Chains A and B, each alone.
Chain A
Amino acid sequence: MASVKDLRDQIRSLKNTQQITKAMKQVAAAKIRRAETAQKQARPYADTLGEMLRELVAAVSRVDHPFMNPGKTSAPSGMILMTADKGLCGAFNANVIRQGEAFLREHPGAVMYSVGVKARQAVRRFGGGDHPSWPLNAASKLEAAREVARTASAAFVEGKISEIVLVSSKMLSMLVQRPQTLRLVPIARDGMADATVNQGPKAMVEFAPTPEAVLSQLLPKYLEFTIFSAMLETDAAFFAAQLVAMNNATDNAGKLIDEYTIQMNNARQAAITKELLEIVGGAEALNG
């Protein structure tokens, strides 16, 4: 059985850990709010962009933009793996990375891009070596998203990759984050056209200069913005995951502290009992 001193040291160290995890939990809670505000502020732009895109797709009969055409079939896939920069968030990053790994198994030789420090490390592990990579917490997420979109779409247009797939986290609720694999390019036209079927008279829209020209300017922006939204979502989901992880860690530390305290009390009591027995035994011997 461990000595009273050992147990006391253990408990002290656990209490320190608990303080840290509790502080991190509070920080995560505050940051979620900020991340969610950022997400909310980006929503009007996303909604309007999506609406314009649907209108445009409905208005044009044939688009010559490379994003709407199937990619070169002989080329490998392109995968953007997106995680947070930091850990201490349970299986959050690991889940996304596992999903990325699964995608790689199905699409051997895929060209990899990474957003987030953890994703960069993972891609290196997958044998991606020095690949285009960006941190999630860039000074300007929008600027970073733009660069990601440009790099990947340039490779797509040049025929170096056949599609652009994004593997990132979807935030289902504060407690549940799930990895998702999303094909960004080529853009599936079917889904969009369906959504506009019953809009009828709205199709009488005038486009300047032509729907095709506006569309080809809009598509790259749409890609940029989709990546930007995914970055915001990953950010918010990361803090939600961290909140849960730190909450669990604090609870677990509390449980361990309780357990060790009981053990310590037992050990102390055992020592006292032993001492008493020795004294009594000694006295008995003297009285003989």
Chain B
Amino acid sequence: MSTFALKLIAPTRVLFDGQASLVIAATTEGEEGILAGHAPFVGALKPGVLRAEVSDEMGSRRLELATDEGFIQALPDRVTVLLERALSLEEIDLEATRAELAAATEPAAIAFAEAKLRLARSA
């Protein structure tokens, strides 16, 4: 399967920099799956779950992150995703997230908490 360069970038760190064969991200228009050779595309992300089939020096694996708002830029040979906040399954504290969801009032905060729970459930 052909691959492309994938970069997942958060404001304070680069989350992933390597090759990927597939990225599925929740854009404001719905889930968008991106393969190698995708037409140039820029979209806004809403809080959701980002999935990617990636391979780097740590080997081939599936990457799953609960993400806050962000942006995605796809070119035929590379995809860059900017993520405000992103957490992997191991980083999610279920209890804290439930409390966060109960306390959250802003739609964006609620959506991010829900995304974290969705990722935890799907695992």
Contact = CB atoms under 8 A, between A and B. Distances in A.
Contacts of B44: 208, 213-214, 217-218
Given A45-B82, A48-B82, A142 B43 contact: no
Interface of B is mostly: strand
A214 B42 contact: yes
A214 B71 contact: yes
Given A218-B71, A221-B84, A206 B40 contact: yes
B38 to A, nearest CB: 9
Contacts of B43: 207-209, 214
A13 B16 CA distance: 53
A42 interface: yes
Contact of B9 (A44, A55, A142, A206): A44
A204 B40 contact: yes
Given A52-B82, A202-B40, A208 B9 contact: no
A205 interface: yes
Contacts of B80: 48
A56 interface: yes
Contact of A213 (B9, B28, B82, B84): B28
A14 interface: no
Interface in B22-74: 27-29, 32, 39-44, 69, 71, 73
Nearest to A146: B84
A55 B27 CA distance: 18
B116 interface: no
B12 interface: yes
A53 to B, nearest CB: 10
B11 interface: yes
A49 interface: yes
A205 B42 contact: yes
Contacts of A228: 11
Interface of A: 38, 41-42, 44-45, 48-49, 51-52, 55-56, 142, 202, 204-209, 211, 213-214, 217-218, 221, 225, 228
The 7 A-B pairs at the shortest CB distance, nearest first, are namely: A208-B43, A205-B40, A217-B44, A206-B41, A214-B44, A208-B29, A45-B9
Given A207-B42, A208-B27, 4 more contacts: A56-B42, A205-B40, A205-B42, A206-B42
Interface of B: 7, 9-14, 27-29, 32, 39-44, 69, 71, 73, 80, 82, 84
